[in-house]
Amino acid sequence: MLKNKPKSFISIKMVIVGIIIVLALLFINNGYYSVKEQEQAILTMFGKVVRVDTAGLYFKIPFVQSVHLIDMTTHGIGIGYTIKDGQNITVDDEGVMITSDFNFVDIDFYLEYKVSDPVAAYYNSTQPDVIMKNMALACIRNTVVNYPVDDVITTAKGQIQAEVKETLQKELTDKNIGLSVVNISVQDAEPPTQEIVQAFKSVETAKQGKETAVNNAKKYQSEELPKAEATADKIVQDAEAAKEARIAEAEGQVARFNEMYEQYRLQPYITKKRLFYETMEDVLPELKVIITDGNTQQLLPLGEFN
């Protein structure tokens, strides 16, 4: 007759069976995944893409492979406004743009987009929708600036939409962030608020003031520079003339000295006396000259011969 098994052994066996059942359920639960009609799934293993799945039921290796579901439906965002609690709230930093005739216009767009490449959308950027919105703003500004304000508000909306869509799609393709443009449309275009108009006028006034100041400075320069150049030329010419006069005077004095020296060499005594009398005449013009031999008792003054 068989002996009954201990209750502890039975309990351990039940625990093991329970663990196996739980692991099996976890394996089954993590081994399959489903993809909805408007989704695509990126299957990765150790950070590398294994495949991209469309709608259906698929198997993966539990705890080794990971699944990232990507929404492939069309989404829409406002540019120039945001929607909050069912109301459109204007965003001036986005909607106000300058036109080719240097006016401001407040223009709003609605951009529809979707994921075109799920792998690029998931891996190439952390916020592809934010990047796309910034690119859209740049394309819109670069397009609106080519049109006058009247055309932007009235007849050129369709052309602007087409140009922006084409340019933005090209930019998205070049940047490869996995998104594509479905449609972009102008929601509203009107003159900006009075505050913005006044600020624009203030900027224009400041620019005109700057241009006026620059023009005045250039005018003053054009008037004063010739005067300064003429004055400088006159100073140089006067200096040259003074130099030539001093040189001529010095050369004349040298020639006179040489001539006097030649006379001195011929008659030193007479020349000395003549120089003495001439010097005394210059120093004492009222001096009366009397010639005597030193023995004459009567002195005769030497008067003028005229």
132 neighbors 164 (Cβ within 8 angstroms): no
- Domain region containing 282: 193-306
Same-domain pairing of 115 and 21: no
Residue 278: helix, strand or coil by DSSP?
helix
Q: Which of 128, 161, 192 is the last residue of a domain?
A: 192
Digit-coded pLDDT (tens) for 210-226: 888 898 888 888 888 88
**Structural domains counted in the chain:** 3
Same-domain pairing of 173 and 110: yes
Q: Flag whether 289 is in a domain.
A: yes
Same-domain pairing of 163 and 119: yes
When the pLDDT of each residue in the chain is averaged and rounded to a whole number, the result is 82
Same-domain pairing of 112 and 129: yes
pLDDT at 2 over 50: no
Q: Which of 162, 192, 222 is the last residue of a domain?
A: 192
Q: Flag whether 211 is in a domain.
A: yes
Same-domain pairing of 170 and 199: no
Residue 225: helix, strand or coil by DSSP?
helix
Same-domain pairing of 114 and 142: yes
pLDDT at 275 over 60: yes
Q: Which residue in the block uniquely carries the two structure tokens 């991209």? A: 52
144 neighbors 152 (Cβ within 8 angstroms): yes
Highest-scoring range by mean pLDDT, 29-33, 67-71, 257-261, 282-286: 67-71
Same-domain pairing of 221 and 187: no
Q: How far apart are CA 266 and CA 209, in angstroms?
A: 85
Phi–psi pair at 255, nearest 5 degrees: -65, -45
- Between the alpha carbon of residue 190 and those of residues 80, 96, 155, the distances in Å are 12, 10, 13
Q: Flag whether 3 is in a domain.
A: no
Predicted pLDDT of residue 142 = 94
Q: Apex CA 115: angle with CA 110 and CA 116, to 5°?
A: 115
Predicted pLDDT of residue 191 = 77
Report residue 67 as tokens: 């699944």
Same-domain pairing of 17 and 43: yes
Highest-scoring range by mean pLDDT, 94-103, 113-122, 276-285: 113-122
Digit-coded pLDDT (tens) for 134-191: 999 999 999 999 999 888 888 899 999 999 999 999 999 999 999 999 999 998 888 7
Rounded to 10 degrees, what is the CA torsion of 213, 216, 218, 222?
A: -170
Q: How confident is the model at residue 279 (pLDDT cuts 50, 70, 90)?
A: confident
Q: Flag whether 229 is in a domain.
A: yes
Mean pLDDT on 267-290: 74
Same-domain pairing of 162 and 248: no
Among 179, 59, 195, smallest CA distance to 130 is for: 179
pLDDT at 5 over 60: no
CATH number at residue 93: 3.30.479.30
Digit-coded pLDDT (tens) for 55-107: 998 888 887 888 899 999 999 999 988 877 777 777 777 888 889 988 888 89
Digit-coded pLDDT (tens) for 287-299: 666 666 666 555 5
Q: Which of 141, 170, 192 is the last residue of a domain?
A: 192
Q: Flag whether 58 is in a domain.
A: yes
